[in-house]
Structure 1
Amino acid sequence: MASFVCFYKALRGVFLRGVPPAAAHLFPLLLLLYMAQRMVFPWRERRSMWVNIYNTVAAPCAQVHFKEGYVGDVLTSTVRLLVDVAFGTLWFLAGVRGWLTADRLDLVAGGNFIERLWLFQKFIVPALMAGPLYWRFMQNIHRAWATGDRWPHLGNAMKYAAAQTVGLLGVFHPELRQHPAWVSGFVFATCYQYAWDIFMDWDLLRWNGSSFELRKNRLYSSKSFYLAIAAVNLVLRFLWTITLIPESTQHLFTEKFDINVHLSPFIAAAEICRRSMWGFLRVENEHLHVHGGRRPKPPSAVAAAAPGATSIAGPPVDPLPKNKAGDGFRPMGIAIAA
């Protein structure tokens, strides 16, 4: 936020006396460099994060546990962010190229150049959009092969395959985004994802023989908490429909306001918030299947010091029924199909 305020003030020429408006572009560059540095250093603390990302990208060759599946789902929510980071990086590189060749930092021309760049439009954007979906698809294929169970892994894989298909079709053929068939496909994929959230990832609703009811084993006491997350999740799942408004009719909603451009950062932020709320109930459901609703007790000092002591303490947990997601959850090697 501080970087945005400084950028806006410098662009208007009211930041500091003597600072030209062209210097405003240094603030997002500094923010980009700072975030890149924080993602790597300190390496001792960041190493585990990059190992998990590598194991996620290496699907289906790598083992799929809960953390890899969770990281994969989080990456599917960062598509807009990754595209913006890629565009910003190329934008500054193009500006530096213009400065070196023409003795000026031509960032505007660099932005127009990137928008028309074949490599960016036909390779980088599709790769960043479909990559996380492909990784989760292959993770589920790996789980289906490793466990020998077709359901729910192939059903979960179909969810990502549907999203990937309509997404790639919209990227390579943007003229089809107003076509009823493409819109119907996107609505189907979104409804599929939402239903999977409710019935599989969260195991939130269960059939009691006559109607659906909220599962009784819950870690959060308030029912309204679950209902609120489910409602917000539904709204944010369909927030992308704003981008379907044709440019020829946008003037009916607002003047001098590009909906796709100006709302894109807010839609990206809303997706991150939605994924965070999704994570609360996903981790809760995982905890219930692993520990049966109990909190695992840490080993006592005496038990930990005893020869041959194991790292698992506390009373034995009753055998758990197989998770609805069909992953055969185990405390030390938890698989996911999200």
Structure 2
Amino acid sequence: MKFGKEFTSHMVPEWQEAYMNYNYLKTLLKEILIFRQRKTMSNQVNPTSKVRSLKRKVSLFRAFSGLTSDHHHKKVKEDEVIMVSAMHQPDEEQGGINSLCYQTVFLHSLDEGGEFELVFFKRLDHEFNKVINFYKNKVDEVVKQAKELNIQMDALTALRIKVHHPTSTTSTPFIDETNTGANPLEVIQEFEMSEERYQKKRLNDIKEYEMASLDVLNRIKINATTETPLSTMKSVFNSLNVDLTYNKNELRNAQGKLKQAFIEFHEKLRLLKNFSFHNQLAFSKIMKKYDKITSRSAADTYLKMVEGSYLGQSDDVSKLIERVEAVFAKHFCNGNRDQGMKNLRPKAKREKHRVTFFVGCFFGCALALLVVIITNMNTKYLLKSEEQTRYMNTIFPLYSLFGYLALHMLMYAGNVFYWTRYRVNYSFIFGCKPGTELRFKQVLLLSTGLSVLTLAAVLGNLDMDMDTHTQSYKVVTELLPLGLVTVVVIIAICPFNIMYRSTRYFLLVCLWHCICAPLYFVTLPDFFLADQFTSQVQLLRNLEFYVCYYGWGDFKKRNAQTCNDSSIYKTISIFIAVVPYWIRLLQCIRRYYEGRDSTQGLNGFKYFSTIVAVVARTLYSQKKGLTLRIVAASTSGFATIFSTYWDLVKDWGLLNRNSENPWLRDKLILPNRSIYFLAMMVNVILRFAWMQTVLDFTETPSLHRNALIAIIASLEIIRRGIWNFFRLENEHLNNVGKFRAVKSVPLPFSYEEEEDKDL
């Protein structure tokens, strides 16, 4: 692998703009190479005398070396290619504070073709100053975070003492005297909590440690502990910060939050260390390439400056990494360093060949089963007999549920594939635990496995024995769909570590947050999942049909009239269709309440208009009538136009007329801009598929109504899959613009500084 690709593969996606632009510098070197090649060819054609006269002409503009200079000193200056100096200049981004800036002077700019090399060194300086300023700002940022974590650890250690030794009034965390001081790198210290060790130290009169007072507990308040619907209700009337009661639940919650904070902090430190290493390597590579092309010796001078700069000399990050690892192992892993390293440095997931094998195996089985099912349908004339209507009204809705689910998973697998290909950090955006995110082959494995189970059950229903006299069916075959639902639910809630337990748990937590909206703080995974449900309304209605068919319908005779003719069933059907949009409306209200963002208010109004449109469409499909049709058409049209605008402008960030890419956005991930315009057109067309209910497209004689509804529902799932990719791309670019590469973990304690008594 060439270094350029390797360098790109090691970039932190959210920091990619802060890295040295290696590819652009390579293009500048190619221009120098092309010029020199042309010069060589021209020299082969022209006489050598012209070259000599040119050399003489250039030499007239060289700096005067003097008459009394030492011979050795003169030789060094003649061989010198560049001079690098550091200067201070005001930085507007830092409020006018002087920042260190490096500038390279190219001493051969008057040589033929020197202007190309001059441009190269100016760009090289720009890239180096960009890298070093970013690195220094990030180091200052982690030092401040280290100070905050030190305060939090003081409070946690004191809380541990108070919980486990309530009668203690003096003492306990021990702070190493050698670590106290103003040096910000010494802010994360190791604490001793063993009173027995303190007593031994005291008896031996070893003054290596001094005791810290528990007075810190008087200046802190604990933030809201693990968020629950009850705690959210209380927070409406009370402050989020409450006084400590010194119980084990507070200690456990605080310790869990601080543990996660240390993990994220350590990850940020590792990213910074890798950032420094790979950028230094990139500067080394580009300068060696420059020397090779120009046959000069500038690399040693420039790389010496790089090594002597803050980027090469600062060991702040390395020291912090060592201290964080020591503290984490001691206080969160009972001194077990190996366990601490497993938590802080999780191993990268390895691609397993058996996953690829089973994906291919299941895909082949699904195709074979599909061919057999189509053959059986044609052989038994199922779709041309009187049994067609009964089959489409009962069995088809039962199995189409799994078709919607498998199609959604298939679209998500495609999303993951292209997110990975274009380096969209979906794992970080969703907040997955490192190493637990599903890759596209694993999602395909689940999708194809579900498809095989579903098609096998469908084939079992088609091959069942039927009594032509009584038209009664075997109970076992009729219970196949219900058994399949049961298997899927059991796998989803299975507590054992099989079938990607961490991902299933993460999904169930997000689902619970959606159900309890707005009682939980809304994160991106929560509203992203709720958006998926807005495209699975038909799946939810099929679940309702399951309950009615097997609860009150005569499933032994495939009779669903009890459900279809029930007014209660129709009313619940309206409610089921509204639930996903209602959840999103409540989430928007919660986000507006948290941040007072008017955009969330408009987003909530969008979902409210969709609720009105869904109710109107459902009522029209059940009762018909010209008035209901006009109301349904007008509300659906408004909701569709509003939602389409929101998709393209707000969720995707497109249709910006004044952007660098007209009618798109300034930054794009896909190399071909036409894909964005095509995606917008497809989104608009599929959005207007909603209108099929109002325009009575479901009454076409060539297809059964349930079949056409399934096609429209599948098109909406496909539209959602396309929406997912561009929505997450836009979110990724927002993170890149703000250089957010690690999660922000809320800290457990609020620290109140003592007021100045003199005031």
- How high is the TM-score relative to the length of structure 1? 0.73
Alignment of structure 1 residues 131-170 onto 2, 5 Å: 131-149=579-597, 151-170=598-617
1:49 alignment partner in structure 2: 507
Q: Aligned partners of 1:6 and 1:47: how far apart in 2?
A: 28
Q: 2:709 aligns with which of 264, 275, 278?
A: 264
User: Is 2:744 aligned against 1:332?
Assistant: yes
> Is 1:119 aligned to residue 572 of structure 2?
no
Deviates more, 1:194-203 or 1:29-38: 29-38
Aligned residues of 2:617 and 2:636 also touching (Cα < 8 A) = no
Structure 2 counterpart of 1:32, from 482, 485, 493: 485
- Cα deviation per residue 1:4-43 (whole Å; 9 max; x = unaligned)? 655665565xx37x57783453443333223222322256
The question of whether the paired residues in 2 share the 8 Å contact of 1:141 and 1:154 is answered with: yes
- For residues 738 and 724 of structure 2, what CA distance do their matches in structure 1 show? 17
What residue is the counterpart of 2:635 in the other structure? Answer: 185
Match of 2:649 among 176, 186, 199: 199
Give unmatched runs, 5+ long, in structure 2.
1-450, 746-759
Task: Give the secondary-structure state (helix, strand or coil) at the position aligned to 2:663.
Answer: strand
Q: By how many angstroms is 1:84 displaced?
A: 0.8
Q: How far off its partner does 1:156 sit?
A: 0.5
Check conservation: 2:612, 2:635, Cα contact below 8 A: no
In the alignment, residue 524 of structure 2 is paired with which amino acid?
Answer: F
Q: How does 1:57-76 map to 2 (within 5 A)?
A: 57-76=515-534
Q: Which amino acid aligns with 2:701?
A: T
Letter in 1 for 2:587: Q
For residues 32-56 of structure 1, the C-alpha deviation after alignment (integer angstroms, 9 at most, x for no partner) is 2232223222564322211111112
Deviation of residue 205 (structure 1)?
A: 1.8
Which amino acid in 2 is paired with 1:196?
Answer: W
Q: Distance in 1 between matches of 2:522 and 2:491?
A: 27
What's the offset of the Cα at 1:280?
0.5
Conserved? CA contact 2:636–2:691, under 8 Å:
no
CA contact (8 A) 2:577 2:614 kept: yes
What are the superposed Cα offsets for residues 118-146 of structure 1, whole Å, 9 maximum, x if unpaired?
332112x1222111111111111111121
In structure 1, what is the equivalent of residue 674 of structure 2? 224
When residues 3 and 263 of structure 1 are mapped into structure 2, their CA distance, relative to the original with a 3 A threshold, is: farther
Q: Which amino acid aligns with 1:154?
A: G
Paired with 1:160 and 1:131, the residues of 2 have a C-alpha distance of: 11
1:79 has 2:537 as partner: yes
Deviation at 1:234, TM superposition (A): 1.3
Per mean C-alpha deviation after superposition, the further-off stretch among 194-203 and 174-183 is 174-183
Q: Matches of 2:588 and 2:508 in 1, distance apart?
A: 21
For 2:466 and 2:487, the matched residues in 1 are separated by: 22
1:147-202, Cα deviation, whole Å (9 max, x unpaired): 122x2111111110001012123334542576223202201101110110000001
**Structure 2: distance between partners of 1:171 and 1:81:** 15
SS in 2 for 1:244: coil
- Residue number in structure 2 paired with 1:286: 731
> How far did residue 83 of structure 1 move?
0.5
Partner of 1:315: none
2:690 maps to 240
Post-superposition offset of 1:293: 8.8
Amino acid at match of 2:482: L
Give secondary structure in 1 for the equivalent of 2:518: coil
Residue from 539, 547, 558 that aligns with 1:107:
558
Aligned to 1:22: 473
SS in 2 for 1:238: helix
Q: Secondary structure at the match of 2:716?
A: helix
Name the CA distance, whole Å, in 2 between partners of 1:204 and 1:135: 26
Alignment pair present for 1:93 and 2:551: yes
- Secondary structure, aligned partner of 1:128: helix
Q: Please give the alpha-carbon distance, in whole angstroms, between the structure 2 residues aligned to 1:205 and 1:242.
A: 27
Residue 148 to residue 7, structure 1, CA distance change in 2 (3 Å): closer
- Cα separation, 2, equivalents of 1:73 and 1:191: 17
Cα displacement (A) at 1:295: 9.2
Q: Equivalent residue of 2:732, what SS?
A: helix
Structure 1 gap segments, 5+ residues each: 100-104, 297-311, 313-330, 334-338
Aligned counterparts of 1:241 and 1:140: Cα–Cα separation in 2? 26
Tell me by how many angstroms 1:265 deviates: 1.6
Matched residue type, 1:225: I
Q: CA, structure 1 residues 90+182, in 2 after alignment: closer, same or farther (shift >3 Å)? A: closer
The TM-score, its normalising length taken from structure 2, stands at: 0.34
RMSD between superposed Cα atoms in Å: 2.9
Query: Structure 2 vs 1, CA of residues 6 and 19 (structure 1 numbering), >3 Å: closer, same or farther?
Result: farther
List per-residue Cα deviations over 1:280-338 (Å, max 9, x = no partner): 01111111111229794xxxxxxxxxxxxxxx5xxxxxxxxxxxxxxxxxx538xxxxx
Between the aligned partners of 2:454 and 2:524, the Cα distance in structure 1 is 36
Equivalent in the alignment of 1:324: none
Counterparts in 2 of 1:180 and 1:119: CA distance versus 1, 3 Å: closer
Distance 1:245 1:182 in 2: 10
CA distance, structure 1, for counterparts of residue 520 and residue 712 of structure 2: 32
Partners of 1:154 and 1:129 lie apart in 2 by: 22
- How many pairs does the alignment contain? 280
| Structure 1: distance between partners of 2:578 and 2:646 | 20
Structure 1: how far apart are the matches of 2:548 and 2:460? 22
Aligned to 2:273: none
Distance 2:658 2:634 in 1: 32
- Is contact 2:617-2:694 (8 Å) kept? no
Alpha-carbon distance in structure 1 between the residues aligned to 2:615 and 2:651:
25
8 Å CA contact retained: 1:204, 1:215 = yes
Judging changes above 3 Å, is the alpha-carbon distance between structure 1 residues 65 and 230 closer, same or farther for their aligned structure 2 residues?
same
Distance, in Å, in 1 between the alignment partners of 2:733 and 2:671 is 14
